[in-house]
Structure 1
Amino acid sequence: MTAAAKSSTQIAERITEAMLARKLAPGTRLGEQQLAELFGVSRTQIREALTRLVTRGIVTVSARRGWYVIEPTPEDARDAFEARRVLELGLLRHARPIGADAIRKLRQHVEREQAALEGEDVATRSFLLGDFHVCLCESFGNTLLADTLRDLTTRTTLTAMQYQSSHHARQSCAEHVGIVAALEAGDLELAEQLMHNHLCNVEAGLDQSLRSDSLSPLRQALAPLSENADFATSPPLKEF
């Protein structure tokens, strides 16, 4: 990784790709000096790259602690999935049928997904499954929406890592295949419905208690032990 990426834009994209590939977990510290040595650039360039990612909402910075990959809350997860639904379903709803070259590109993408599923490279598999949505957006020729979707997909990938999404990779790939088939048939209405189902399935894979109640872990930990008779009837502790 020491060779190619030199500009702050390229460095930011390399870090984003690592998140999509599930190589950088939520909360990972991004040390300026380590990254500068890794990429062979100055710390100024690293700060420029990380500042780009802060602006895009996938890195956070503290003057005292440094730079970190975001740790999405359940509320963040809901917002990100809702934004993805608005963007991706709206794109399909208002788009014209795409051409043969775009269909060929999408088919090649899902073929790469299928090949990755048969191998042991989990990082490539994870990246391709997330990148499918960006590739789809690019197929309609809207690079601005594609850039926005890349960041939203990164957020939902980090969410899945944090809350242990159970949505199976093979199911995701099969759903992508169905969406491409609908697009190839020129049935945008069906493609939109399949995309809606797909995003709902992925979101449903998140831990339900965390999605419905952000205080669930703390609430359970601090719940009163009322069912313990001895504890419930014991005299109150003295205050110190």
Structure 2
Amino acid sequence: MTIAAKSSTQIAERITEAMLARKLAPGTRLGEQQLAELFGVSRTQIREALTRLVTRGIVTVSARRGWYVIEPTPEDARAAFEARRVLELGLLRHARPISAEAIRALRLHVECEQAALEGDDVASRSFLLGDFHVCLCESFGNSLLADTLRDLTTRTTLTAMQYQSSHHARQSCAEHVGIVAALENGDLEQAEQLMHSHLCNVEAGLEESLQSGRGPLSPLQQALAPLNDHFDKQSFAISPQLKEF
């Protein structure tokens, strides 16, 4: 069964949405033939879509290995968070008061976040939490910044997947509610302060994960830990009486 998305732009956006929903993990191979069959299009269109994502920095390609979802390093993550702070805080600092219609759209968005938190649809929850920031940019009428922020948010989402960020979804949602309330009150300064705190909290959750060793090598690191870290090997020494057996 094919997926209803025909243009290379639509295909690129569908793949990006899957990353934001945590359905495509870092390092996932994106096979041209498989994608062509899924979307019911030619491999040429798939290559066009993937090339768009390479340009946006969320897919990588090599002649030997093919197309893959990026695997951000901790340094990549910190750079992405810094870029997000500059973009999102700058937007709020220089923005005009938001319209009532835009406030209604943002309130509906956080209501959808809250509903997703009550259910078991992790994909929708993850997508909505990331997409909130994109919707906020769009609410101020700046589609160029919204597109840029979508890619930065995708990068930080992939990093959180890879390094198991400890920042909780409910906390993010509550922080989004506070930002929308400040905007509704016309207090852009408070909205900026709340956004700064929110982004710092999300990044702090990632840093905590990195410092505790919960990265992609953590299971292997634990498996290869010296045995004497877990028990006294002397208790398993063979007694002289048993050696003859």
Fold-level similarity (TM above 0.5):
yes
Assess if the C-alpha contact under 8 Å between 1:58 and 1:69 holds in 2: yes
Q: Deviations over 1:33-83 (max 9, x none)?
A: 000000000100000000000000000001000000000000000000000
What TM-score comes out, normalization by structure 1 length? Answer: 0.88
- The CA deviation at 1:234 is 23
Q: Deviations over 1:78-126 (max 9, x none)?
A: 0000000000000000001111000000000000000000111000000
Q: Deviations over 1:186-238 (max 9, x none)?
A: 000000000000000000111437379xx999999999999999999999999
- The aligned counterpart of 1:222 is 224
- The aligned counterpart of 1:128 is 128
Question: Matched residue pairs, number?
Answer: 238
> What is the CA–CA distance in structure 2 between the aligned matches of 1:20 and 1:40, rounded to whole Å?
23
| Cα distance change, pair 44–189 in 1 and its aligned pair in 2 (3 A) | same
Assess if the C-alpha contact under 8 Å between 2:165 and 2:208 holds in 1: no
What TM-score comes out, normalization by structure 2 length? Answer: 0.86
| Cα distance change, pair 209–111 in 1 and its aligned pair in 2 (3 A) | closer
Q: Deviations over 1:148-186 (max 9, x none)?
A: 000000000000000101111000000000000000000
> What is the CA–CA distance in structure 2 between the aligned matches of 1:60 and 1:172, rounded to whole Å?
29
| Cα distance change, pair 238–220 in 1 and its aligned pair in 2 (3 A) | farther
CA RMSD of aligned residues (A): 4.5
> What is the CA–CA distance in structure 1 between the aligned matches of 2:90 and 2:241, rounded to whole Å?
59
Bigger Rg, structure 1 or 2: 2
> What is the CA–CA distance in structure 2 between the aligned matches of 1:159 and 1:54, rounded to whole Å?
17
Stretches of 4+ aligned residues off by more than 3 angstroms: 207-212, 215-240
> What is the CA–CA distance in structure 2 between the aligned matches of 1:62 and 1:238, rounded to whole Å?
56
- The aligned counterpart of 2:243 is 238
Structure 1 unaligned segments of length 5 or more: list them. none
| Cα distance change, pair 226–109 in 1 and its aligned pair in 2 (3 A) | closer
> What is the CA–CA distance in structure 2 between the aligned matches of 1:142 and 1:238, rounded to whole Å?
78
> What is the CA–CA distance in structure 1 between the aligned matches of 2:64 and 2:200, rounded to whole Å?
39
Comparing 167-176 with 223-232, greater Cα deviation is found at: 223-232
- The aligned counterpart of 1:183 is 183
Report matched runs for 1:47-196 at 5 Å. 47-196=47-196
| Cα distance change, pair 157–237 in 1 and its aligned pair in 2 (3 A) | farther
3-state SS of paired residue (2:227): coil
3-state SS of paired residue (2:38): helix
> What is the CA–CA distance in structure 2 between the aligned matches of 1:115 and 1:84, rounded to whole Å?
26
- The CA deviation at 1:2 is 1.4
Assess if the C-alpha contact under 8 Å between 2:166 and 2:209 holds in 1: no
> What is the CA–CA distance in structure 1 between the aligned matches of 2:181 and 2:133, rounded to whole Å?
15
Structure 2 unaligned segments of length 5 or more: list them. none
3-state SS of paired residue (1:205): helix
> What is the CA–CA distance in structure 2 between the aligned matches of 1:236 and 1:144, rounded to whole Å?
79
